[in-house]
Structure 1
Amino acid sequence: MKHSCHFIYQNNPLFIHITYFTLISFAGYAALKVLKPREMPDTVTDLDLLFTSVSASTVSSMATVEMEDFSSTQLCMLTILMLVGGEVFTSIIDFYFMKVKFHTKGSDIRRGYSVYDIESVSSTNSGPNITHAIKLAVPMSELHLEEKNQYELKAIECLGYALLVYLLVTNLGSSLSIYLYLILVPDAQGVLKRKGIGFVIFSIFTGISSVANCGFTPVNENMVIFQRTPFCYC
């Protein structure tokens, strides 16, 4: 599996990106199709659902239907699409493929000298000098290359973990901040209650959409509806 991922990523990374976004877009369309809209289901066509799914997965924030027509479960699906289609999440996937690439490269280097050189040295040497002979049989350039790859691999792993922490902190932090704002500001609560939208789904949806730079909100008027509430632009 690792060798297959390395081969595909090394030879055609564009193919991986196109395949990834195509799969999540059609998976999102299928989920939106199964999960019925909140109101007037006949007005939302298959093309509208596909367009919205592609828009959410590519974080382009274009829609052909009003967001309030979607049910809470459909909004959850759009939230997932925005999360897995954002630049931070796709960067984590890129780091995974880079990690697989370095693992495969290290295995190729070790196979390059361990099979032939060590066996040939072992057949001609015996006793306490065999370890020293094996070290001499391994080219120093290959040892330095493997050591360099190990450092690069550790750097990639650290960056991958840093991105994962950043993704969790920013999404959870923004969602929590919006939720606290809704709890503390009665006027904002009244806006969502009139729309019939829950505080939790609004907070998570808007928080992830903001971090992904998508721009979707669960209400038709976007943030204009909160224009008269205090601190709405904070």
Structure 2
Amino acid sequence: MKNTPNLKFRSKTVKCLASLHHALTCMCHWTGTTLYSFLRALLLRVDPFWLQLCYFVTLFMLGYMSLSILEPRSPMNRPKSYDLLFTAVSAVTVSSMATVEMEIFKLSERKSASSPSSNMNVENGLMSTNSNIDLKYKSMKFLGITVLCYFFTVQVIGYLLVSLYVGLVVSIKEVLMNKKLNLQVFSIVTTISTFTNCGFLPTNENMMVFKNNQGLQVILIPLVLLGNTLYPVFLRLVLLLLGKISVREEIKYVLENEDELRYPHLLSGVDSWYLSLTSVGFTLIQFVLLMSIGWKSQAMHGLNTSEKVVGSLFQVTNTRHTGESVFDLSLVSPAIIVLIVTMM
């Protein structure tokens, strides 16, 4: 009987602790769902300008720090900080301008000793109905995942093709070995730079040192188009293909509400057709003019017929996009320079 008060006290203590645990659990759940709803509403309302500004500034800083960490081939040739910053900004903005030679950085392989979802209503009243905002948000997520998969797939396939070609062609391997460039690093940098239309290659001569390698040029030409002018066209084709094999409502919403999603590269079907016809048309016009004017130019001296054709196609494709050059433009005629400037 003497232990009865202790038992009652313990029982009350357990109940209090259980109630406190329940209250804390509810509070954490409420806080998490409220924060989730706030971030989702913020994502839909924030001005895209500030998102892009933060995105580019972050990339500028990451690029600058990455270049600062890289060791130059010669300690005496270490670039200045403002040169590294300029190169980082130029790479992010795909302007293809550089104040340092690309081969100054060590790109060889280093040896090492060791190898909750919520269905709660948005309480601030930013959207008229919960179903509409959920569908729009799901569609944005679906579009983002689709774009990410598109970028990843195209670049992985491009890297595999470039790496395979570089590994099989002896002439390219000799050039890279003489320049002390790692084959795999060259393949990665070339693929990403071409797809993003940056135009930076690990070689100082850009693509001119590979003007006889038609296979490499043929691999890079689609990457140029898939990452620039024809990207909206192929993005819509991917969405249409997904719509054929799936009945998800997000796909239908994305294809029918381009303006609502505010993604500038998501064009309507009609605009995609106009864009593809314009891009292909300008490329063909420039190709025909370059072939007719520059067939016997000094820039094409020493190339056979197929090398001239493929090289010209590579050159005109890059004129309006990446900026990579397979011909020495200092050797072409003034008429070709005017043509290139016009198409640019």
TM-score scaled to structure 2, two decimals?
0.45
Query: Which residue identity lines up with residue 209 of structure 1 in the other structure?
Result: S
Residue in structure 2 matching 1:12, options 47, 50, 55: 47
Measure the CA separation in 2 of the matches of 1:153 and 1:6.
9
Report if the CA contact (8 A) 1:44-1:65 is conserved: yes
Measure the CA separation in 2 of the matches of 1:227 and 1:12.
45
Report if the CA contact (8 A) 1:67-1:219 is conserved: yes
**Is 1:192 aligned to residue 176 of structure 2?**
yes
Residue in structure 2 matching 1:210, options 163, 173, 194: 194
The Cα offsets for residues 67-88 of structure 1, whole Å up to 9 and x where unpaired, read as 0001228xxxxxxxxxxxxxxx
Residue in structure 2 matching 1:169, options 153, 174, 185: 153
Q: Which residue is equivalent to 1:54?
A: 89
Q: 1:9–1:63: structure 2 CA closer, same or farther, 3 Å change rule? A: farther
Q: Which has the higher contact order (CA 8 A, sep 6+)?
A: 1
Query: Which residue identity lines up with residue 108 of structure 1 in the other structure?
Result: V
Q: Which moved more, 1:25-34 or 1:51-60?
A: 25-34
Q: Counterpart of 1:60 in 2: which secondary structure?
A: coil
Q: 1:230–1:7: structure 2 CA closer, same or farther, 3 Å change rule? A: closer
Report if the CA contact (8 A) 1:8-1:16 is conserved: no
Q: Counterpart of 1:222 in 2: which secondary structure?
A: coil
The offset of 1:186, in angstroms, is 0.8
Query: Which residue identity lines up with residue 48 of structure 2 in the other structure?
Result: P
Q: Which runs of 5+ in 2 are unaligned?
A: 1-34, 109-117, 219-344
Q: Counterpart of 1:44 in 2: which secondary structure?
A: coil
The Cα offsets for residues 34-84 of structure 1, whole Å up to 9 and x where unpaired, read as 3221235435111110001111122222111110001228xxxxxxxxxxx
Q: Which runs of 5+ in 1 are unaligned?
A: 74-102, 113-140
Residue in structure 1 matching 2:122, options 100, 108, 128: 108
Report if the CA contact (8 A) 2:200-2:206 is conserved: yes
Count of aligned pairs: 173
Q: 1:40–1:226: structure 2 CA closer, same or farther, 3 Å change rule? A: farther
Report if the CA contact (8 A) 2:162-2:216 is conserved: no
Q: 1:6–1:47: structure 2 CA closer, same or farther, 3 Å change rule? A: farther
Measure the CA separation in 2 of the matches of 1:148 and 1:25.
37
Q: 1:58–1:194: structure 2 CA closer, same or farther, 3 Å change rule? A: same
**Higher helix fraction: Structure 1 or Structure 2?**
1
Measure the CA separation in 2 of the matches of 1:9 and 1:46.
38
Q: Which residue is equivalent to 1:183?
A: 167
**Is 1:32 aligned to residue 64 of structure 2?**
no
Measure the CA separation in 1 of the matches of 2:51 and 2:144.
19
Q: Which residue is equivalent to 1:226?
A: 210
Measure the CA separation in 1 of the matches of 2:74 and 2:84.
14
Report if the CA contact (8 A) 1:178-1:203 is conserved: yes
RMSD: 2.7
Report if the CA contact (8 A) 1:51-1:64 is conserved: yes
Q: 1:232–1:12: structure 2 CA closer, same or farther, 3 Å change rule? A: closer
Q: Counterpart of 2:95 in 1: which secondary structure?
A: coil
TM-score scaled to structure 1, two decimals?
0.65
